[in-house]
Amino acid sequence: MTWFVNMQDSFLSGWGEARNGRALYCIRCTSYSQALQIAARARTRSEMKRVAVSSRPRRLRPGDQRTIRDVSDLGEVWTG
């Protein structure tokens, strides 16, 4: 099953594509345990808020910008 680690990037919210909303970052994981590890990493980053593991990417509201990345495309900062 596919899992998503969803979070809001507070640094980028209000800028660029998300200038009227939130900058959402969703990481697609291949297992629940992998998602828990990524969520733990995300919680250590001060710019990431509202970190949650879900079976779906976070829903968009008007003005939001969402980025979805596969865990295999991430660097050591996330997977370390």
For residue 55, name the pLDDT band (cuts at 50, 70, 90).
Answer: very high
Which pLDDT value is given to residue 74? 87
Instruction: State yes or no: pLDDT of 48 exceeds 80.
Output: yes
The reported pTM is 0.87
SS (H, E, C) 59-74: CCCCCCEEEEEEHHHC
Of the candidates 1, 3, 7, 69, the one whose C-alpha atom is nearest the C-alpha of residue 41 is 7
pLDDT tens digits for range 27-46: 999 999 999 999 999 999 99
- Residue 16 pLDDT: 61
